[in-house]
Structure 1
Amino acid sequence: MKIQRNILRWFFVLAQKYDLSIDMHADFGTDASGPQNTVVELIAEKTIERGYEGRVSLGHVTTLGSIDPEVAEPIFEKLAKAQVTIVPLPATDMFMNGQAERKNKPRGMAPVKAMLEKGVNVAYSSNNIRNAFTPFGDANLVTVGYLLQVSQQMGSAKERSQVVEMATTSPAKTLELTDTYGIEVGKHADLNIFDSHTIRDFINDQSKLRYVIKKGEILVKNEYYTELNALLEDE
């Protein structure tokens, strides 16, 4: 653990010297017995110690899913206090973890619902795309969101809306874009417009992208055409 502490201290010293936020991949695995897989609590403590709340994000953190809930709960509370953002990477996490297991293969994911309940900022993303670590995908976060809501059993209307927030407002928070992000007067007119009627069904519908708008200018416009057989049309 001394080695981890020294490495983390070096990260924080450099980040603070150049006034940069910190993004690390941490605790990737399902074995909670190894010290190399259980440093997230130390990172949260170091974040608070260095006064760097809100400027640290951690990718993967899948080992937290293998820790008993009563042990993990105080860790979640520290993460929330430190304002550390956790970034699950569903496609990579589920593909890579548990490959050696012959039965009852784990989902290999950070416990998203439990962290949200404790006030942790959670923002999902994609990781590797079509390489040895994740040999599929197309960088479509709507698809990745579907993997997340299924693997984390987030089926209620509230939970499905939370998944959308994890790809929009939550990432904006960790990227420190809150001053410019959002649909409000004076903020950047950077928008993606999808063909969906409700937030809660946005991921379920696998909604199609209709417009990409940057600074108020339409950069991309997609048109979709469906032709019905006469037997299916209303009389």
Structure 2
Amino acid sequence: MTKPDITLPDTRAFVLRNARVPSVFLTDGVTAGATRDADGSPLLDIVVEDGRFTGLRPAGQGPSELPAFDLAGRQAWPRLVDVHAHLDKGHTVARTANPDGDFLGARAATTEDRLRYWDGEDIRRRLAFSLACAEAHGVGAIRTHLDSHEETAQRDQAATSWAVFREMRDAWAGRVTLQGVGLVAIEAYGDDYGRRLADIVAESGGLLGGGLRPTAILQGSALSEMNDLLDRLFGLARERDLDVDLHVDEIDDPVAASLDVIARATVRNGYEGRVTCGHCCSLALQPADQAAATIARVAKAGISIVTLPTVNMYLQDRQWERTPRWRGVAPVKELAAAGVPFAIAGDNCRDGFYAYGDHDMLDTFRAGVRILHLDHPLQQAPSHVGPIPAAIMGLEHTGQIREGGSADLILLPARSLNEVVARPHADRIVLRAGRRITTKVPRYEELTGEMSPW
């Protein structure tokens, strides 16, 4: 089959005929009468006018008066959503390496790199590179955590990072939607700096965040201290009407129970439906009864979970000269069975915490399917990189193909979900507002200002 050519810059209205769209990307009722394949994906004619979807009809029923482009059953996806990233850390691995690839080495490398390099110009350059990668791959929205540490002799890191974030968010508006989360150790909310950070986040339209990594069971004074810190965080969030996104239990300790503590704190503070928890690795290692009780409380609290399969497989259970024994990811099937929404996200990219990646959510999806066993059947899997993370971010039309929404699409040279997962699809076509984007994946030389012969 030949790849369709849909580059018509002067065409205001057109039809993409015979587009295969996974049903999870569609709203109820639009597929009535359409022929479905073995994955349950309907074959549709997609009508685009003035940059928006104006019709989704069974194949063969699109308007005949408009120019038409036959996709011959190839897949049409919305642009995807990365609900957990670290753009401020990205693309630092070449200058500050993590020598052993483990978590402690990642934290040390990141601290060294941040103190040495992270001024406004450096963060701006790396964010621009990351966003160009994401846009070229078909990512439409990113929630990024921003290291928001107190002022040091080098710089006021929180003020510097958030200023660049606001600048880049505005500059990329309409291309890639950005949300920011203030990332500090949870202990930062125990003093006046927590209030200052909450003000910066509120002024930037962001979310409050924090990292919880207990190494022993939470009980007695440790549990009391954690509850106090969470209550202070929720209090600061409530005063400013901010949602919360936390890093949770990113360790292989089966007694680590901070997710359970967070679920209780969420209900105690009346914050149901406004909390996201990322990682939750140790939940997979807990005894079945303990894990089930925690999952039930997470469901009651309306907490959304984000799993980071590529990064957690890279970091978890990493020991020198020993093959890892477990996958390091959250038990997402059990969470979903309890009614807990979960998303797959990219997390780190070419930094101390993960040496690889390219801000490509299609690649992350393909890896996630295989790591998390989200196949057999595959029908629901794409929802975890489209409508579910979009809902977590509060983005109504993103991650879906629906009438009235912006005509943002990824066209893939694949006819089935199996073919989507089987190949990387470097030849995908990305549309924004009905037009093929011109953004290319940037060359690595752009990070350092070098000339490239390519």
Q: TM-score normalized by structure 2?
A: 0.44
Equivalents in 2 of 1:201, 1:150: separation in Å? 13
> Structure 1: how far apart are the matches of 2:371 and 2:405?
35
RMSD of the TM alignment (CA)?
Answer: 2.3
Between the aligned residues of both structures, percent identity stands at: 27
Partner of 2:294: 75
Equivalent pairs counted in the alignment come to 217
1:193 aligns with 2:411: yes
Shift of 1:165: 0.8
The separation in 2 between residues aligned to 1:70 and 1:209, in whole angstroms, is 47
Which protein has the bigger strand share? 2
Q: Any conservation in 1 of the 2:386–2:398 contact (CA below 8 Å)?
A: no
Match among 385, 392, 416 for residue 174 of structure 1? 392
Matched, 1:213 2:426: no
CA displacement at 1:179 relative to structure 2? 5.8
Residue 123 (structure 1) aligns with: 343
- Equivalent AA in structure 1 for residue 372 of structure 2: Q
Correspondences of 1:74-93 after superposition (within 5 Å): 74-93=293-312
Matched, 1:49 2:268: yes
Specify the code of the residue in structure 1 equivalent to 2:344. Y
Partner Cα separation in structure 2 for residue 207 and residue 29 of structure 1: 33
Alignment of 1:156-167 (within 5 A): 156-157=376-377, 160-167=378-385
The 3-state SS of whatever aligns with 1:202 is helix
- Cα distance change, pair 148–176 in 1 and its aligned pair in 2 (3 A): same
Q: Which residue of 2 aligns with 1:154?
A: 374
Report the Cα distance in structure 1 between the residues aligned to 2:381 and 2:402, rounded to whole angstroms. Answer: 22
Aligned to 2:359: 139
In structure 1, what is the Cα distance between the partners aligned to 2:367 and 2:306?
Answer: 14
Distance 2:286 2:379 in 1: 27
Taking the aligned partners of 2:266 and 2:418, their CA distance within structure 1 comes to 34
Secondary structure of 1:65's counterpart equals helix
What are the superposed Cα offsets for residues 61-87 of structure 1, whole Å, 9 maximum, x if unpaired?
101011122221121122122221111
Instruction: Provide, for residues 94-137 of structure 1, a one-character-per-residue CA deviation record: whole Å limited to 9, x for no partner.
Output: 11110138466211111111111111110011111111211111
Would you say the 8 A contact 2:342–2:384 is kept in 1?
Answer: yes
**Offset, 1:143:** 2.0
Aligned partners of 1:51 and 1:113: how far apart in 2? 27
SS of residue in 2 equivalent to 1:23: strand
Q: 2 CA distance for matches of 1:208 and 1:18? A: 43
Q: 2:254 aligns with which of 20, 23, 32?
A: 32
Q: Show structure 1 runs of 5+ residues with no match.
A: 223-235
Contact preservation (8 Å) 2:386, 2:399? no
Question: CA 1:81 to 1:216, structure 2 compared with 1: closer, same or farther past 3 Å?
Answer: farther
Alpha-carbon distance in structure 2 between the residues aligned to 1:54 and 1:127: 22
Higher relative contact order (CA closer than 8 Å, sequence separation 6+) = 2
Aligned equivalent of 2:330, options 106, 110, 113: 110
CA distance in 2, matches of 1:80, 1:195: 38
Q: Which has the larger radius of gyration?
A: 2
Pair 1:20-2:242 in alignment: yes
**Cα distance, 1:141 vs structure 2:** 1.7
